[in-house]
Amino acid sequence: MQVIRMEGTTVLCESRNGIERLDTMLTGPLEAGQWILGFLGAAREVIDAERAAQVEEALVALESILHGKGNNEDLIHAAFADLIDREPQLPEFLRPAAT
């Protein structure tokens, strides 16, 4: 989603699904034009335009697969190229502490 404007502790954002209001308690204040990941009514993470485009491409591919539009394998390879042939990595906070 892209930020339109802050309003108190919430932010007005635009996504492919329209305009949404999100809580910003996890991100802090945001500025117009910033890109964010939002989930269940909350802004979760500030991202850059390149990452926003990647997420959008992945969401479009998943929607196409759900609606039977196009070849699933081609859609997956196009939208998730960064994950193909790569071993999954745990986020830093879930990795075991170094001993």
pLDDT tens-digit series, residues 79-88:
777 777 888 8
Residues 8, 43 within the same domain: yes
Residues 7, 26 within the same domain: yes
Q: So what's the pLDDT on residue 34?
A: 97
- CA–CA separation, 12 and 53 (whole Å): 19
Residues 37, 74 within the same domain: no
Among 4, 10, 60, 7, smallest CA distance to 35 is for 4
Residues 43, 54 within the same domain: no
User: Taking residues 28-54, what's their average pLDDT?
Assistant: 94
The model's pLDDT over 51-64, given as tens digits with 9 standing for 90+, comes to: 999 888 888 888 88
Residue 63's domain spans which residues?
50-79
pTM of the model: 0.73
Q: Is 59 left (phi over 0), alpha (psi -120 to 50) or beta?
A: alpha
Q: How many domains does the chain have?
A: 2
Q: Which two tokens stand for residue 36?
A: 């964010």
Q: Is residue 88 part of a domain?
A: no
Q: Is residue 99 part of a domain?
A: no
